Chains A and B, each alone.
Chain A
Amino acid sequence: MPTSGPNNKPEDLIARLSSSDGEAKLKSLRELKNQIIGNRTKKLSYVKLGAVPAVVSILALAVESGDSSASSVIIQSAAIIGSFACGIDAGVRAVLDSGSFSILVRLISHSNNKVVDAGARSLKIIYQSKLAPKYDFFQKENMESLLSLLNSEIENVTGLGASIITHSCQTSAEQKILCEAGVLKKFQKLLQGSQNQRDASLESLATIIKNNPVVISEFVEADNRQYLRAVIELINDRYYRTRLLACMCLTAIWNTSPSCLQDVGLGTKLIMILLELLDDPGQVGDDAPFALASLIAEKEDMQKLAFEMDAVDKLCSQLRKTPLQAKRIQGIFLALAELCSKLEFCRSRLLYLQVLELVTDAFAHDSSEVRIAACICLKSVSRSVKSLSAGLFMNEMILVPLIKLLNDYSCSVQVAALGAISNIVVDFAARRPTFVQCGVVKQLVHLSTSMDSTVRVNAVWALRNLVFLADGGSKEGIFLELTTSTLLSLICDSESPVQEQALGFVRNLVDGCVESIDYVFTEDGVILHAIGRQLRRASKTEGMYVLSNVASGTELHKEAVLHQLLPSASSGAQSFLLKFLQSDDSRLRTAAVWSVVNLTFPCSPGAYARVVKLRNAGIYSQVKHMVNDSSLDVKLRARTALGQSMTFGDSST
């Protein structure tokens, strides 16, 4: 077995790089290049030993010398820098910190084409990293340089131009200026070039047209739609990568301007090709599920088409293959999540294929992206009321690892887990007490006080769903854990979505048995007062339903609600009930008129007195107008309210 002699140590190799003997230096550079190519461990250890600045200073000296014999050193050192920047963030950082970027840029205008090629290749690799600096397209000279890159005869130089666009073009203003500079035309030409040029052009093209109907229209109409046709043809290219990129380009159009495509069968073709590409064992297969997810996102018709083409089965069978790259697992979960987001038969199929276990296994995956994707997938599958009603998700196999994620170090994982939990706790199978007893409420309450408002809103959302139709014991446990003061601060949270979920929570809390209403009367009714204050500030349907639900209780409850709705004239506060009855939002009008119905419910002793008070406040004149409301629900409730008032023989309302 060969062993490392003293001269093969990385430190020694770095020392030999500074040899004054040109041949020895070149030999050392080649050796370094060969050692690090494709070897992450070696790259990292050389980065730690300071190899990057050493190579960059060799490159700088060689460029400064202007000596034609230095070309070999330039080419080798540029290649090494590119290699360090390939695939590892620490390498990219070291390369950028070393100041090599500007030297590499200078190489593009070198007289020796091989030097140009080496420089362009390394820069292209740097631009494939998220850490690369953003290119400013709005500077005239930058745009000119970019166009000259795209006009080059050297493949790596045009590739560099495309990579710069893919990396840096993010806003619609950038898309527009690139389009106006004629970049689309350049790509049209490059599509006829080598495979690398085609792929780079397709990737950049997708970046330029994404979410931009104006640029899409320019692209689609260009050259009498020949350009578009060329891209459509590429979905059948012999190279998998090209097929994938062409599909991604067309998906970008489909997602923004579907009517531009005018090809009825194209959706089916795209799904079919992306499903075939899942079988590729390499990067194409890793990227394909992401492309599929994007193609079917929010589109029920496409999801149905994908289902009919066995997408659920194909994705699930991919998931069973081991070992899988983290990225591929993430993509498959996201594609499954999209498939199951709207259609019940997709969810049923996924459950039938028994892959839930794989989803829950992924909750413990090393990669946080995989954990997030698994939660999103479960969230989507658990949108099935049929399965929720059967209690399919309320079991240890799912709950134990899912609840653990509430302690994840990543906020994004916590949010994703809360999303799935929010759905699962809508439990019709009466297994909620088990869930409440397992300590999860404590965690949800803890997260509802998070500094991160997304975590907060999702935690309150889960609590709101948890308390929906909950039994008395569960409600008590949840309320004791949450405490009046926390609930109060959530109702008055700085973020409106948190307030809305908190009000939804109270609405559910006071539903069910009449005793539940007492929760809002604890501590001198601070919660009820807080809701009243919130309602005076803004229109909130959930808050109005809280008052309406409370008004369906005892005399005491009804009087307290009336007091909130019609504050005494001396307080100076205005009645928001009248405002809500006149709201443009029919849901709010409905909630408001329900409160009138409940306050004057027949047989309650104080109903008549409340009818009088409401009439004096001008409520009934408004309700009278509402018997012809555009919303049938509002109209019917208004008639009920009027009918009830008339049972007191008081037709003057």
Chain B
Amino acid sequence: MPVRVSESSVPSQISGSSSGQSSPPACTLLSVGQAFSGTQNVSSVQNNEAWRVNVRIQGCDLDHGYLCGTMEALNVPMADTPVVTFWEGEIVDTKNYTFFTGKWDATPEDDIRHWTKFQSFSPLMNQAKVDGGKSLDLSNYPYIFMRWKEQYFVNVGTDCGLTIAGFYYVCFSCADGSINGFYYDPNSSPFQKLELKSTNEGRSGFSFSSYELQ
């Protein structure tokens, strides 16, 4: 069983405004080709429901704080087949993106309300409230915070009765590759929880593939 890294490590402050901010850690468990599976809780007052979800990382560009992939929802009630969407992620690297979303109908208050749901965010909260975390150096922090925004449906039409209007606040653990997230859409039930674990496709261990674009 993988060993968890102590969660007491506190990110360092960047000294001086001109100092170069390094990228978040390159984590093999979050590299292209890696797969995750779990559930998204879509419970509302009326019903208690969870969809099975598979995620695959397809692209990663740490210089631009960019990550993308697909998300497959398996037992969606109104769909005959699994519904696959393509999403693009913003990595909170404090260089390209901060904890403040600044779009998609999310206010800084909405942001903090969601980020605080992640325990690993608590050492960062005070600074994040001040400037979105701009002055934090997260390059050695064992968690990667992201926003995932679905961009299009891959295998169904836009008339499928589903919406991808919102986005996810995501926290990835570099230690074990687990992902927690909260879906945010002012028009959907609040705090729908996404819980994913790194999968190894029947292997007894971890396998890593790679491609290189020219």
Contact = CB atoms under 8 A, between A and B. Distances in A.
B152 interface: yes
Contacts, number: 142
A635 B9 CA distance: 13
B34 to A, nearest CB: 10
- Identify the interface centre among A426, A511, A542, A632: most chain B CB within 10 Å of its CB: A632
Nearest to A643: B3
Q: Is the interface of A mostly helix, strand, loop or mixed?
A: helix
Given A385-B58, A389-B70, 20 more contacts: A383-B213, A386-B68, A389-B59, A390-B86, A390-B152, A428-B70, A468-B210, A512-B209, A545-B208, A590-B28, A601-B205, A632-B27, A632-B142, A633-B25, A633-B28, A636-B27, A640-B175, A643-B1, A644-B3, A647-B1
A2 to B, nearest CB: 58
Contacts of B210: 468, 504, 507-508, 542, 545
Interface in B1-51: 1-3, 5, 25-28, 33
Interface in A492-525: 504, 507-508, 510-514
B159 interface: no
Nearest to B141: A632
A118 B205 CA distance: 80
Contacts of A631: 25-26
Contacts of A334: none
Contact of A636 (B5, B59, B214): B5
A511 B28 contact: no
Contacts of B56: 428, 469
Interface of A: 379, 382-383, 385-386, 388-390, 419-420, 422-423, 426, 428-429, 458, 461, 464-465, 468-469, 504, 507-508, 510-514, 542, 545, 548-549, 551-554, 558, 590, 594, 597-599, 601-604, 631-633, 635-637, 639-640, 642-644, 647
Contacts of A554: 204
B202 interface: yes
B205 A426 contact: no
A504 B33 CA distance: 13
B127 interface: no
A429 B27 CA distance: 25
Interface size class of B (residues with CB under 8 A): 35 or more
Given A385-B59, A513-B201, A644-B1, A461 B209 contact: no
A299 to B, nearest CB: 14
A601 B200 CA distance: 12
A635 B2 CA distance: 13
A508 B209 contact: yes
A447 to B, nearest CB: 15
A389 B154 contact: yes
Nearest to B6: A639
A389 B174 CA distance: 25
A385 B154 CA distance: 13
A633 B213 CA distance: 23
A555 to B, nearest CB: 9
A643 B59 CA distance: 31
A389 B206 contact: no
A594 B206 contact: yes
Contacts of B203: 514, 552-553
A542 to B, nearest CB: 8
Contact of A389 (B26, B27, B86, B212): B86
A579 to B, nearest CB: 20
Contacts of B96: none
Given A636-B142, A639-B3, A598 B28 contact: no
A514 B32 CA distance: 19
Contacts of A385: 58-59, 68
Contact of A423 (B70, B206, B213): B213
Given A426-B213, A636-B174, A552 B200 contact: yes
Contacts of B152: 390
A507 B142 CA distance: 27
Nearest to A638: B3
A75 to B, nearest CB: 55
B33 A469 contact: yes
A510 B203 CA distance: 11
Contacts of B88: 386
A549 B208 contact: yes
A59 B52 CA distance: 89
A549 B58 contact: no
Contacts of A469: 33, 56, 209
Nearest to A468: B211
A468 B209 contact: yes
Contact of A602 (B1, B33, B139, B174): B1
Contacts of B33: 468-469, 511
A597 B58 contact: no
B33 to A, nearest CB: 6
A511 B3 contact: no
Contacts of A597: 205-206
5 contacts: A422-B213, A422-B214, A507-B210, A514-B202, A601-B205
Closest 6 CB pairs of A and B: A643-B3, A552-B205, A385-B59, A598-B205, A511-B209, A632-B25
Contacts of A419: 214
B140 interface: yes
A174 B5 CA distance: 59
A422 B28 CA distance: 23
B12 to A, nearest CB: 13
B151 interface: yes
A465 B214 CA distance: 10
Interface in B57-101: 58-59, 68, 70, 86, 88
A558 B206 CA distance: 12
B207 interface: yes
Interface in B163-214: 174-175, 200-214
A504 B154 CA distance: 28
Contacts of B68: 385-386, 389
Contacts of B211: 426, 464-465, 468, 508
A428 B202 CA distance: 21
A464 B152 CA distance: 28
- Identify the interface centre among A426, A429, A633, A642: most chain B CB within 10 Å of its CB: A633
A646 to B, nearest CB: 8
B25 A428 contact: no
Contacts of B208: 507, 511, 545, 548-549, 594
Given A643-B2, A643-B3, A389 B58 contact: yes
A590 B28 CA distance: 8
A633 B204 contact: no
Contacts of A643: 1-3
Nearest to A637: B28
Contact of B2 (A382, A429, A510, A640): A640
Contacts of A465: 211-213
Nearest to B67: A385
Contacts of B209: 468-469, 507-508, 511-512, 549
A601 B204 contact: yes
Nearest to A603: B204
A231 B213 CA distance: 39
Interface string B123-153: 0000000000000000110100000000110
A504 B28 CA distance: 16
Given A513-B202, A514-B203, A640-B2, A594 B28 contact: yes
A462 to B, nearest CB: 9
A389 B3 CA distance: 34
Contacts of A386: 59, 68, 86, 88, 151
Contacts of A513: 201-202
Contacts of A599: 205
Contacts of B213: 382-383, 422-423, 426, 465
B31 to A, nearest CB: 10
A469 B70 CA distance: 14
